[in-house]
Structure formats: C-alpha cells, structure tokens
Amino acid sequence: MKMQKVWFITGASRGFGLEIAKAALAAGDQVVATVRSQPTQLAATLDNHPELYVVQMDVIQEDQVQAAVRQGIACFGRLDVLVNNAGYGMVTAIEEATDAEVRKQYDTNVFGLLNVTRAVLPYLRQQKSGHIINISSLFGYDAIPGWGLYGSTKFAVEGISKGLAAELAPLGIHVTVVAPGLFTTDFLSTDSYVAAKTLIADYQETVGQMRMGADALHGNQPGDPKKFAQVILQLANTEHPPLHLPVGKDAVAMYQGNAAKMAQEIEAWLPVATSTDHDHPIAASTVA
C-alpha cells in the first residue's frame, strides 16, 4: 500500500510547480504549495483540494521561508518531499548584466533554494527520511550564448545537490537534481524571463539572435509539463532515486554533448594536465 507523502513545492503558481502539485494531489498525497502572491487564486485553481495548503512566501526572504515551513509542518505533521522549483531565467550576455541584475538572479535561483533547503532539513534530519528534488536545467550542463548567466545558477544547483547528497545519504535523506529540457511552460514567455536592460551591439549576432528566438520558441517547446510532473512523482516514490536526471531528449543530448567535449579536451591536453607533479616525490615528514 502506498504511503501518503507530504510535499513542499516552491513556485507552485504555474509551470512545473503547478503541474507537480496537481500530480501529487491526484496521487493522494498532501501538498504545501508556496507562491509569492495571490495564494487564494492558486487554491481556487486547484479546486480548494482538502489535502492542499497554500502559503505565501518569497524564497529570498528567509523569515518568510522559515514561517512557511513551520506552517506546513503544523498543517500536515511532517514533510517528505521538497521540490525546489522557484526560479526564473534571464537572457543576456554576461557583460551586459549589471551587478544588481546578476545578484537578483542568484538570490532567487541559488540563495533562495538554499534558504528553503536550510529551513526544511532540520525536520528531515529528525525524521531520518525525506527526498530533496532540485530543479536545474539543461543549461546546467553546457552554455549557449545568452543563457550563460542563468545557466551558471543551475551549475551551482547541480554542485549544491551533489554536495547535499554526500552529506545527507548517511541520514536517510535522498537528493535528486532534475535538469529539464525545453517544455511548454511559461518559462519563455516575455512576462516570465528577464532580459538585461543594457544591450551591447557586439553581441547582436549571438545573444541578440537568442533574444529574438526565445519569443519565437515560446509555445513550441517539445516537452509536455504534465509528463514532466509524472517523472517527479515517480522519483518521489522510488526507493533508490538517481542523483542526476536530465529529462527530455534535448536535456539528455546537452549532457552527452558536453561530456564528450570535455573528455576530448582533457585527452588532447593530458600531457600538460598531468605535468605538474614534483620531479622527485617529497618524503613524508616524520616526528622524532
């Protein structure tokens, strides 16, 4: 018999977060869904489901995060699955982005994720169980013009997840970092991603083309977000989940292509890369 799980899902107002909440509720689980604004609207969207608790929370406000987690625990008594989904994209050349724009991107995509993870972990450690699912991106595997800065936040999520997995495995807590490809969510709609205010003409043929292409691609992405939500549901009910999981043929291709390029570069430079040891091994110091 399937045990009812309690989910804590950030960024649940639309896109992946909303679809994951729908899938978890349909599976008979309980869901704490967080939104930055209009919690009653999300509750109505999800038919005021009796196993749903919606809380208003901005991931970059640590006091709000701590309060939201406490409220979720008070409502359902425990947490089993954390989905760190909140985040947004920014199309820009790295040089074009101001310090304030870069910090805002990292505040949400990286530091916000850490805020939520820190708030949830004491409860998971006490239970000696739980599963943290961090949403990364295919751009967390390789870089393309215009998405390098956003991708760097997802590279950070990949690294944080790998470190968490090593630290939490002895405590009975799983970690999976999921890297979706392009899905028909609102991610590429003009009111979802951000473009840097500064434009530099030298980047028109690379980043400029990407800015125009993002609008054209919106609504034509290959991935079905409902199927993505089912993947997340499957992960949450797997006894031995993976640490890394690209989702979508494009995400798998991005991973495979980057891995092959890195292997080729390292092999080509192997004599140089391995040339830095001392000519004569240094004897280990001894204590008289």
Catalytic choice (13, 136, 137, 152)? 136
Q: Which of 240, 131, 243, 223 is nearest to 177 (CA)?
A: 243
Rg (CA), the chain: 21
Indicate the angle between helix axes 113-127 and 148-168, nearest 10 degrees.
10
Does residue 152 carry a catalytic annotation?
A: no
- Binning the chain into helix, strand and coil, the percentages to the nearest 5 are 50, 15, 35
Label residues 105-122 b or e (16+ Cβ within 10 Å = b). bbebbbebbbbbbebbbe
* DSSP 8-state code for residue 249: H
β-pairing verdict for 194-195 and 90-91: parallel
The token duo for 41 is 């609207």
Return the bridge partners of 31, or none. 7, 52
The token duo for 277 is 């040891």
CB 211 within 8 A of CB 197: no
Q: CA-CA-CA-CA torsion for 80, 112, 109, 118, nearest 10 degrees?
A: -50
pLDDT higher than 80, residue 185: no
User: What is the CA angle 48-53-54, rounded to 5?
Assistant: 85
Please, what is the average pLDDT of the chain?
92
pLDDT higher than 90, residue 281: no
Structural domains present in the chain: 6-273 (3.40.50.720)
Does residue 2 carry a catalytic annotation?
A: no
pLDDT tens digits, 34-46: 999 999 999 999 9
Catalytic choice (13, 141, 154, 193)? 154
pLDDT tens digits, 113-128: 999 999 999 999 999 9
Count how many Cα atoms sit within 13 Å of the Cα of residue 235 in the half-sphere of its side chain.
29
Percent of the chain predicted with pLDDT > 90: 85
CA distance 91 to 97: 9
CB 175 within 8 A of CB 164: yes
What number is the average pLDDT over the span 178-194? 74
Does residue 154 carry a catalytic annotation?
A: yes
CA distance 179 to 244: 8
Catalytic choice (141, 150, 193, 255)? 150
Q: Which amino acid is at 181?
A: G
Confidence of residue 3 (pLDDT cuts 50, 70, 90): confident
Q: Whole-model pTM above 0.85?
A: yes
Q: How many other C-beta atoms can be found within 10 angstroms of the C-beta atom of residue 62?
A: 16
What number is the average pLDDT over the span 169-173? 98
Helix (H, G, I), strand (E, B) or coil at 84: strand
The per-residue pLDDT for 54 is: 98
pLDDT tens digits, 131-167: 999 999 999 999 999 999 999 999 999 999 999 999 9
**φ and ψ at 135, to 5 degrees?**
-90, 115
What number is the average pLDDT over the span 42-71? 97
